[in-house]
Amino acid sequence: MHTPTHNPISWFEIYVDDLARARKFYEHVFQITLDALPGATPDNGGPQMLAFPMSQDHYGAGGALVHMQGLHAGGNSTLVYFACQDCAVEEGRVAQAGGRVHRPKWSIGQHGFISLVMDTEGNMLGLHSM
């Protein structure tokens, strides 16, 4: 068996039905600005994408909110965890951003703490902190 040269996830996409509503939710909860990805536009038959701030020099994967005709939000079985200093802080912003807390912050032992929340599109996401 060999030692991996990279982490298994290189990119994530969160599919949404209402891109403006989802943008408002994620920008409020994480206190960030999402930027449109050049070339990703519905007028060329592709999806409309808003990228999360990312850096190639840091741990973790980049990703985007995606709206594409024929692909709907919610009901999937993939869970994305967002890194937080204290997941209770972001969890506290969820309801006022139009989402809901599915399971509030709890300990996962030596691996820190997590919260499970639902966004405005019906997608569940995880919040993780040490």
What are 49's two structure tokens? Answer: 């994408």
Residue 96, number of CB atoms within 10 A of its CB: 10
Is-contact 118 102, C-beta < 8 A? yes
In the chain, % helix, strand, coil (3-state, to 5) comes to 20, 30, 45
What are 47's two structure tokens? Answer: 């999806």
Three-state SS at 5 = coil
Number of domains in the chain: 1
Average pLDDT over all residues of the chain: 88
Q: What are phi and psi of 118, to 5 degrees?
A: -110, 135
Percent of the chain's residues with pLDDT above 90: 58
Kindly tell me if the per-residue pLDDT of 127 is higher than 90. Answer: yes
Does a structural domain hold residue 30? yes
pLDDT of residue 47: 83
Does a structural domain hold residue 53? yes
Does a structural domain hold residue 2? no
